[in-house]
Amino acid sequence: MPDTTTPSRRAGRPQGFLLMFMSCLPILGAVLLAPVLPRMQDHFGDSGAATALVPLSLTVPALMIALLAPFAGRIVDRFGRKRLLLMALAVYAVFGTAPLWLDGLAAIVLSRAGVGVAEAAIMTCCTTLISDYFSGTERDRWLGMQTVFASLSATLFFALGGALGAQDWRTPFWLYASSLLFLVLAATLIWQPAGETARAGERTPLPPLPARALALPCAVTLVGGIVFYTPIVELPYVLDAAGITAVPVIGAFTALASLATAGGAYAFGRVSRRGTAFLLPLAFLLAGAGLVVLGATSVVPVIVLGAVVASAGTGLMLPTLLVWAQSGLSFEQRGRGTGLWTAALFLGEFVCPLLVVAFTGALGGLGAAVVLVGAVAVLLALLTRRVLIRRVPVTA
């Protein structure tokens, strides 16, 4: 591959917004099919295999991200960001649109696993490139915007999936071809950060990761993924238990919570100077308090208030966790560190519904399970405050 490293180039809004939009592609894979799952189930029948495989088609990409993001990070550090990103965008389009022509449900689930492989690479590359291209408060703003775009796109993609799925359950899969447009734009607007080409040619050993320094941020991120996903998954069920059964009303309240997530993430870029030791405990405290309120009441306005507070906290939490995980990493370590962090986040999101179901059975109700997750978040706020004051600098 020719040397496209251009040390004198400075990234700006075109690169930043392109990375934002490409970061939404894994969100597309996570929520687009949710509205059409019942129609898929009708198409493939109610056999035991179909009952298990249809929901798996929605969740398997997130599992693949959790399993493969660390490997993607190693490839990023060894062979370069841009090269892997372009390949992943092409693979995403191939596997994403494959169900348009596949008939077997097992083959469709395998194609969804292929989408997850591509998403692991796309997410790792985009997040790493944000930290390569930007620094200081400018980097913090873009990392916050990444969560803003993810939150807003989730609502948009859910609506698009429902609208397109009203015609046929296969129609939403056409949206995966949008990665080909991003492939062209990335080939034009994205460049390899300085030093990549020379390192790839030398095949020098990669510097080891600071495993002990990364272990704590990744462990906290694993729990943070559970906390982050709890209001997203459980709010409709809590509202239903409170007597709100109209789908448009539930959708409106869910969209309001998504806006709160975006608001918390947007605020991160403005308050990042306060530092991880202040922002991370605050984020967990807001998320935990909101979840406790959400699960402890049956009054609808209070439920919505709890969801908004919890979502604002989780929106602030994600970029703060990422900055913490990346602090102290060199250029040659950043891809692997980002991959490990991404894996921890998506693993937490994947196990969240399973844990909530287990807690619900053990505690005798969904509300109690949500309160327990909130209490864990509050406890984590106290623990991270003590640990971060001792271990990390005040600045993010």
What CATH number corresponds to the domain at position 302? 1.20.1250.20
Contact by Cβ (8 Å): 121, 85: yes
| Three-state helix/strand/coil letters over 53-67 | HHHHHHHHHHHHHHH
241 and 361 belong to one structural domain? yes
Position 201 pLDDT exceeds 60: no
Last residue of a domain, one of 154, 182, 202: 202
Cα–Cα distance, 163 to 159 (Å, whole number): 6
**Per-residue pLDDT, 195:** 55
Residues whose CB is less than 8 angstroms from the CB of residue 233 and which lie 6 or more positions away in sequence, other chains included: 352, 353, 356
Confirm whether 55 is domain-assigned.
yes
Confirm whether 227 is domain-assigned.
yes
Residue 394's pLDDT band (boundaries 50, 70, 90)? very low
329 and 384 belong to one structural domain? yes
**Per-residue pLDDT, 2:** 40
308 and 378 belong to one structural domain? yes
Of all residues in the chain, the percent with pLDDT exceeding 90 is 37
Whose CA is closest to 380, among 211, 210, 214, 228?
Answer: 228
Question: What is the CA angle 24-29-33, rounded to 5?
Answer: 130
**Per-residue pLDDT, 11:** 78
Give the predicted TM-score (pTM) of the model.
Answer: 0.82
Structural domains counted in the chain: 2
Confirm whether 1 is domain-assigned.
no
The first and second tokens of residue 85, run together, are 């990103």
**Per-residue pLDDT, 218:** 92
**Per-residue pLDDT, 107:** 92
Residue 391's pLDDT band (boundaries 50, 70, 90)? low
The first and second tokens of residue 287, run together, are 């998320």
Position 352 pLDDT exceeds 90: no
Residue 215 belongs to domain spanning: 211-391
182 and 89 belong to one structural domain? yes
Mean pLDDT to the nearest integer, 130-153: 87
357 and 237 belong to one structural domain? yes
Nearest-10 Cα torsion for 64, 66, 71, 72: 80
Least confident of 123-127, 200-204, 252-256, 284-288: 200-204
DSSP letter at 87 equals: H
216 and 138 belong to one structural domain? no
Mean pLDDT to the nearest integer, 343-353: 87
**Per-residue pLDDT, 87:** 94
121 and 251 belong to one structural domain? no
Q: Report helix, strand or coil for 5.
A: coil
Residue 140 CB neighbour total at 10 angstroms: 22
The first and second tokens of residue 363, run together, are 């505690």
Instruction: Choose between 195 and 60: higher pLDDT.
Output: 60
Position 176 pLDDT exceeds 90: yes
Instruction: Choose between 195 and 375: higher pLDDT.
Output: 375
Confirm whether 70 is domain-assigned.
yes
pLDDT tens column, 202-221: 556 777 777 777 889 999 99
| Whole-number Cα distances in Å, 79 to 22, 217, 329 | 20, 26, 18
Instruction: Choose between 303 and 245: higher pLDDT.
Output: 303
Average model confidence (pLDDT) for the chain?
A: 85
Single-letter residue type at 328 = G
124 and 216 belong to one structural domain? no
Confirm whether 5 is domain-assigned.
no
**Per-residue pLDDT, 198:** 45
Cα–Cα distance, 281 to 294 (Å, whole number): 20
Confirm whether 73 is domain-assigned.
yes
The first and second tokens of residue 124, run together, are 């790792």
Residue 327's pLDDT band (boundaries 50, 70, 90)? confident
Confirm whether 101 is domain-assigned.
yes
Last residue of a domain, one of 163, 183, 202: 202
Cα–Cα distance, 330 to 210 (Å, whole number): 10
Cα–Cα distance, 111 to 176 (Å, whole number): 12
The H helix count followed by the E strand count for the chain is: 15, 0
Taking the alpha carbons of 158, 160, 165, 170 in that order, is the dihedral positive or negative? negative
Least confident of 92-96, 118-122, 152-156, 302-306: 152-156
Least confident of 2-11, 60-69, 161-170, 323-332: 2-11
198 and 305 belong to one structural domain? no
DSSP letter at 218 equals: H
132 and 198 belong to one structural domain? yes
Cα–Cα distance, 141 to 19 (Å, whole number): 13
**Per-residue pLDDT, 370:** 93
**Per-residue pLDDT, 17:** 94
Last residue of a domain, one of 202, 222, 241: 202
pLDDT tens column, 37-93: 778 878 887 766 777 787 778 778 888 888 888 888 888 888 788 989 999 999 999
Whose CA is closest to 321, among 207, 228, 211?
Answer: 228
Position 396 pLDDT exceeds 60: no
387 and 334 belong to one structural domain? yes
Confirm whether 34 is domain-assigned.
yes
Cα–Cα distance, 304 to 312 (Å, whole number): 12
Contact by Cβ (8 Å): 249, 300: no
223 and 172 belong to one structural domain? no
